[in-house]
Amino acid sequence: MTSDPKFERRAFLLGSAGALAASTLEPAVAQTSEPKPLPAYVNWKDPKAFIVHSDQTLEMKRDLFGTSLITPEDRLFIRNNVKPPPESIAADRDAWRVEFAGVKQPKTFTLGELKRLGVVTVATVLQCSGNGRKFFMDELKGDQKMSGTPWTVGAAGCVIWSGVPLKAVVDALGGPIAGMKFITGTGGEEIPAGLNPKDLVVERSVPLSNLDTVILAWEMNGKPISVAHGGPLRMVVPGYSGVNNVKYVKTVALTVEQTDARIQSANYRFHKMGEKPAPNQPAVWEQPVKSWITSPTTSQKPGLLQVTGLAFGGMNPVAHVDVSVDGGKTWVRAKFIGPDLGRFAWRMFTLPVTLKPGDYTLVSRATDSKGATQPETTPLNGSGYGHNGWRSPGVKITVA
């Protein structure tokens, strides 16, 4: 890195010749191959935006995060644990029914009725618990194995939700019954006959301490939430990883125990490599502090350029981000750009750098308001959840 203006001009002139050479080295694949078709339930999305791991797992491409903060719905990643419900559940959105239990006056509300109880708007990072699993997989040795989708960074987005605060609903129903410790939300997928519902139901419990922040959302980025992303109504737990944000929520119960549904008891647990998941292991709940570079992701001409990225603190605001172009040997503080949409949203950052011809590894390291910083590597866990190490998502580029 240098800020010598004389060098910058020379590097720029050299750069235009160098760029030709560099572009001939780029693999031709990206432009010529047809993207894999999207499954029917998301055929309204931009097919060029995704790495299609399967019909139930669509990852957004890394160069599409942009710098204007909000992830458009047609690019937002998709993750379904079971087959999503039909579009017809949103034919009459306001008629969608949600049952409330664990409160003094249990009741079923329609969405139309819920809308009358309160409305708030909150921006959150929606990120699959397994985002970054690919980086764990790359570290496996010997006969170590890990199953799951090999997400890199694209199972994440920052979106704006509008909905009713759960607290307003609970208050309207006389408050929690004494002794309740969890908020348990149940997804509205139909469980095929003959299968054990406990094995398939998307039912998640989060600590009752989230009562002041959980919302039941009907709107995302200014539109009624698509069924693919959880419409007509979604339970949003700000700061918590993807799985806890139950789509097409049909029951919200305050409960003494966590649900014994498989998705809570055996899946989404932090367990050691080779150890079986069990309900006494830590649940995948709060997201840790994290960041990654979003641009550039390809080779560049020499001279001045903007290294951009995004950072978030999970439950806490992100305080600052350091960027390195030499793979973590030296760091420079980046500048936040754009609006601050609150502690659950991500922030975009930029660092202007002037690069001479050579090879660079761009990495970023965020610190939250409580002083928690991304580790260089995240200790391995058996299912590959919660990756937030700064080294592996690094971007290698050639400047020529």
Interacting partner of 229 out of Mo ion, ligand MTE, none (Cβ under 5 to 8 A depending on kind) = ligand MTE
Per-residue 3-state assignment (H helix, E strand, C coil) for 57-114: EEEECHHHCCCCCCCCCCCCCEECCCCCCCHHHHCCHHHCEEEEECECCCEEEEHHHH
Q: How near is the Cβ of 293 to ligand MTE at its closest, in Å? A: 22
Q: If DSSP codes are grouped into helix, strand and coil, which group holds residue 15?
A: helix
When binding is defined by CB under 6 A, the residue of 182, 248, 360, 385 that contacts ligand MTE is: 248
When asked if residue 93 is in the footprint of Mo ion (CB under 5 A), the reply is: no
Q: Which pair of structure tokens corresponds to residue 365?
A: 């390291």
Question: How many residues contact Mo ion, by CB under 5 A?
Answer: 5
**C-alpha to C-alpha distances, 112 to 22, 94, 96, 117, 174, nearest whole angstrom:** 57, 4, 8, 10, 20
Angstrom distance (rounded) from CA 363 to CA 350: 12
Comparing CA positions, the residue from 341, 392, 347, 351 lying closest to residue 368 is: 347
CA triple 347-244-255, angle to 5 deg: 135
Q: Considering only CA atoms, which of 191, 181, 256 is closest in space to residue 211? A: 181
Q: Is 242 in the site for Mo ion (CB under 5 A)?
A: yes
Position 362 contacts ligand MTE (CB under 6 A): no
Residues 62-91: x/- map of binding to ligand MTE (CB under 6 A)?
Answer: --------------xxxxxxx---------
Nearer to ligand MTE, 50 or 77 (CB): 77
Q: How far is the CB of 243 from Mo ion (least distance, A)?
A: 5
Using CB under 5 A, which residues numbered 127 to 186 contact Mo ion? 128-129
Cα–Cα dist 271/339, whole Å: 37
349 binds, among ligand MTE, Mo ion, none (CB under 5 to 8 A by kind): none
Report angle CA 337, 338, 343 to the nearest 5 degrees.
95
Decide: is 365 part of the binding site for Mo ion (CB under 5 A). no
Binding mask of the shown chain, residues 101 to 120, with x at each position contacting Mo ion by CB under 5 A = --------------------
386 binds Mo ion (CB under 5 A): no
Considering the rule CB under 5 A, would residue 201 count as an interface residue with Mo ion?
Answer: no
Contact call for residue 45 and ligand MTE (CB under 6 A)? no
**Which amino acid appears at position 341 of this protein?**
L
Residue ranges that bind Mo ion, judged by CB under 5 A: 79, 128-129, 242-243
Residue ranges that bind ligand MTE, judged by CB under 6 A: 76-82, 126, 128, 187, 189, 202, 229-230, 242-243, 245-248
